[in-house]
Amino acid sequence: MARPRVLVIAEAANPEWVSVPLVGWSLAQALRGVADVHLVTQVRNRDAILRAGLVEGRDFTAIDSEALARPLWAIGRMLRGGDGKGWTTVQVVNALSYPYFERLVWQRFGADITAKKFDIVHRVTPLSPTVSSPLATKCARAGVPFVLGPLNGGVPWPAAFDDARRAEREWLSYVRGAYKLLPGRGRTLRAAAAILAGSRHTASEIPPEHRHKVIWLPENAIDPARFSAQADPADGPLRACFIGRLVPYKGADMLIAAAEPLLRDGTMTLDIIGDGPMMGALQAQAAGLGVVFHGWLDHAQVQTVAARNGILAFPSVREFGGGVVLEAMAMGLAPVVVDYAGPGELVTEGVGFKLPLGDRATIIAELRRTLAGLAANPQAVSAAAGSARARARTHFTWAAKARQVAYVYDWVLGFRPAQPVFFSATQPILSYLDRDSGGDGESDAAQA
């Protein structure tokens, strides 16, 4: 089959940023390995993309929607009350400004799409399922398949952590479900040829009449070149690290509380990598326990510190994707996570340890029990760490992700009769994605 010509829409795609912009950039670039890609992004990403070596006009087009995006972003920043907070507010602002971006995209590429100079149009970002896509209907009318996603977000806040929700200024999350009533959402879902869902929760929010088009495909992946270090903890106590923003829902305080007896008697060591409003309180909580607070580190330093450890202890109670978990797995750290949302879906049996979601006291008790068990059984840590590294580097590289999306492209173009299903309840990725297996990948796909 010939390489499809794909117009990739990634309003946020930036090789020098993190989070959603890095996902948009990384997936768009990886797709160049399986398709002829032209990237369309917002003008704020232009300079970074040029520095990465792409040629404007040939490889990508930067759309200048700043006339609306800039003032709305300033309003959103004010309403958020600080960087890194009010994520739902960010999505509301994006939902207001994004249609203008797509309007400009259609002005630039509508004639080419109608003339079928592209086989597929694929909107990668925004990731939020609350942001509709007017392009979907226009592409459907032109007879060009529109692929949407991966979509992810809106994982409900656990009831026991409503104080963390308020600390994050997530006021709008109480009424987030209202987006399902917006007419643009229904039109987008009807017009899309395939909907990539980054989490089971997001997949569950797609109305039943559209679920035959839904493929569960977590949005995060790792770049082996960026995550080249391999964990090599010294013999002795259980060595654990935490990586993330120091805010209530990430759970660093629960980790310190759970680990306190192990830290006091020297059975465990703990590195905390990250910074945030809880830094002072956490340092006071950990006084005399030997916990090392590293603050924010650059990428190389994070790997250096993390590689001295055997496990990533990450009891966050609300993660959409859990990219830090994949990154730790790729280095060969065994993840210890709460079994909820992104991390709970990435960590399967044998590659890590999952704690049941409960209230603060329950999570602390379960985490303490788990850490004590691992301290007493280092072989279990080593076995899980090896399996975690193999899983991440086999199935969750950007190249592997691109192959998965290529299968979706083949399906919407009619070259594959079977709906692609890359994940089942118990198995991470089906055998047809292994290019060396010789399987055709048609008959053994089981519904997620």
For residue range 50-69, list pLDDT tens digits in order. Answer: 999 999 999 999 999 998 77
Do residues 73 and 21 both lie within one domain? yes
233 in a structural domain: no
Give residue-wise pLDDT tens across range 184-220: 889 999 999 999 999 888 888 899 999 899 998 989 9
pLDDT band per the 50, 70, 90 thresholds, residue 78:
low
From the CB of residue 266, how many other CB atoms can be counted at a distance below 10 Å? 10
State the pLDDT at residue 387: 96
C-beta atoms surrounding 326 within 10 Å: 26
Q: Which residues contact 280 (CB under 8 A, 6 or more apart)?
A: none
CATH number at residue 247: 3.40.50.2000
Higher-pLDDT residue of 300, 268 = 268
For residue 77, the model assigns a pLDDT of 62
Helix axes 134-142, 183-191, angle to 10 degrees: 40
What range defines the domain where residue 242 resides? Answer: 238-395
Q: Letter for the amino acid at 102?
A: E
Q: What is the pLDDT of residue 422?
A: 64
Are 391 and 355 in the same domain? yes
Q: 139 and 61, same structural domain? A: yes
- Tell me the whole-structure pTM to 2 decimals: 0.86
Place of tokens 């890095």: 22
Domain membership flag for residue 252:
yes
User: What percent of the chain lies above the pLDDT cut of 70?
Assistant: 85
Residues 166 and 312 in one domain: no
Q: Is residue 280 part of a domain?
A: yes
Instruction: Tell me the per-residue pLDDT of 293-344, one tens digit each, with 9 for 90 and over.
Output: 999 999 889 999 999 999 999 999 988 888 999 999 999 999 999 999 889 9
Shared domain check, 404 and 391: no
Is the same domain home to 52 and 164? yes
Q: Domain for residue 151, yes or no?
A: yes
Residue 442 within a domain: no
| Mean pLDDT along residues 239-264 | 96
pLDDT digits 0-9 by tens, 404-447: 999 999 999 999 887 887 644 334 333 333 333 333 333 223 22
Mean pLDDT over 256-282 rounds to 97
DSSP bridge pairs for 353: 336
Considering the domain architecture, whether residues 276 and 179 belong to the same structural domain is answered as: no
pLDDT score at 434: 36
- How many other CB atoms are there within 10 angstroms of residue 333's CB atom? 31
> Which stretches of 206-340 are DSSP H helices?
252-264, 279-285, 299-306, 323-331
Three-state secondary-structure class, residue 243: strand
Q: Are residues 349 and 404 in the same domain?
A: no
Question: Residue 117 — φ and ψ, nearest 5°?
Answer: -75, -10
Run of H or E residues at 390:
helix 378-395
Same domain (yes/no): 212, 247: no
130-185 pLDDT, tens digit each? 889 999 999 999 999 999 999 998 788 788 877 876 776 665 554 555 555 566 88
The one-letter code for the residue type at 23 is V
Q: Does 73 share its domain with 148? A: yes
Ramachandran region of residue 57, left (φ > 0), alpha (ψ -120 to 50) or beta? left
d(CA 120, CA 139): 9
Looking at residue 179, its pLDDT comes to 53
The CA distance from 374 to 393, in Å, is: 24
Nearest to 372 by CA among 233, 254, 263: 263
Verify that 11 and 158 share a domain, yes or no: yes
Question: What length does the chain have?
Answer: 448
Taking the C-alpha atoms of residue 172 and residue 313, their distance in angstroms, rounded to an integer, is 30
Number of structural domains the chain divides into = 2
Query: Do residues 127 and 53 both lie within one domain?
Result: yes
